[in-house]
Amino acid sequence: MVVLGRVVAPFGVKGWLKIQPFGDDPLSWRKMPHWWLAPESEMPDEQWARYALRDCQAHGKGLVACLDGIADRNAAELLSGWYIAAPREFLPQPEENEYYWGDLVGMAVRDEAGELLGEVTGLLSTGAHDVLQVRDGEMERLIPFVAAYVLDVDLAARSIRTAWQKDW
């Protein structure tokens, strides 16, 4: 499963959900007839619950969505904090130099000299740009995911080359 976002709260009284998307084009999710939800992002694929999508709309910096089987606010409240995902085959192919966050997690991050800085453990959306969370033992680095610092992403090699120094 590729994690796409998270339910942050119920929206209204008719079972709608307020969604925090993890990415740039969440309205493209409307093309998927089903969404999968789970309380933890690392759940095995078979433990994600599948819901038919009834409606999805932009709302502020996020989305609001209505799923079959979520009939009222009480049902929507039970899903607060749950993650939204989809199997890879249901997702559109990213454009050149675009990546799903889930594809970046676990990648090795190296500086220009090839020295290992750590592994991507997650990403943060700051509004201005995304930030790679890179962990090397107890040390965590936050590297802006912008062209000035991220020089190359090699999905096949599971490696990211950066203009970031180990001592920064």
pLDDT tens for 15-40 read 999 999 987 678 888 888 999 999 99
SS3 content of the chain, % helix, strand, coil (to 5): 10, 45, 40
Q: Which helix (H) or strand (E) holds 131?
A: strand 130-136
Interval 116-140: pLDDT, tens? 999 999 998 887 889 999 999 999 9
Q: What is the pLDDT of residue 22?
A: 83
pLDDT beyond 80 at 111: yes
Global pTM value: 0.68
Q: How far is residue 130 from each of residues 47, 122, 127, 133, 141, measured CA to CA in Å?
A: 29, 10, 7, 10, 13
> What is the signed CA dihedral for 23, 24, 26, 29, rounded to 10 degrees?
-80
Whether residue 100 contacts residue 94, with contact meaning beta carbons closer than 8 Å, is answered with yes
Among 28-42, 45-59, 61-75, 145-159, the range scoring the smallest mean pLDDT is: 28-42
Single-letter code of the amino acid located at 45: D
Q: What is the pLDDT of residue 2?
A: 86
Q: What is the pLDDT of residue 25?
A: 77
Name the DSSP letter for residue 26. Answer: G
Average pLDDT of the segment spanning 101-116: 94
Main-chain dihedrals φ then ψ at residue 89, nearest 5 degrees: -70, -15
Residue for token pair 């889930």: 102
Dihedral sign of CA atoms 76, 79, 80, 86 in order: negative
Dihedral sign of CA atoms 17, 59, 132, 28 in order: positive
Alpha carbon 24 to its chain centroid, in Å, reads 10
Q: What is the pLDDT of residue 61?
A: 84
Q: What is the pLDDT of residue 92?
A: 77
Between 35 and 91, residue with greater pLDDT:
35
pLDDT beyond 80 at 9: yes
